[in-house]
Amino acid sequence: MQIGMTEPAIFDETREVNPLLLAYLGDAVYELYVRCKLVTGGNIRPNEVHQEAVKFVSAPAQARVLREVESLLTEEEWDILRRGRNAKSGSIPKNAKPSEYRYATGLEALVGHWYLTGRTDRLTEMMTKMIHALEEGESRGE
């Protein structure tokens, strides 16, 4: 799935981009993938989409799924993730532990990095794996 890309890549690298800005963009891209999956996945009513999406996009869910796929990340991807995780943001949502929120921010920074550098194949591959892992966790009651 290619989403919103008007150019093959906006940046060659994102090392100079503020990791919180990467996370800001990555949050939107991550949520768009989830929403597309829910809408195209079949029998869901419009008023249920938000409730289902929250199960995938909350900080606890993102932290949990990161643990599921972390072994698949390259060293470069770990560097981006660490930058996002260690960035100082203003506040932490009430529904998340500080560690969950930091890991979710790191994951979102990585998603933003893949998007801005035009690594849509890697973005799609990892989003597919993460959504699948969350669906499996949901079926196990996690």
Which residues are designated catalytic? Answer: 27
Q: Could you write out the DSSP letters of every residue in 63-112?
A: HHHHHHHGGG--HHHHHHHHHHHHS--S---TTS-HHHHHHHHHHHHHHH
Give Cα 59 distance to the centre of its chain.
10
Q: Closest Cα partner for 136 from 128, 42, 109?
A: 128
Structure tokens at 71: 């072994």
Here the tokens at position 91 are 């506040």
Task: Determine the residue type at 77.
Answer: E
Closest CA to 11 of 142, 130, 114, 99: 114
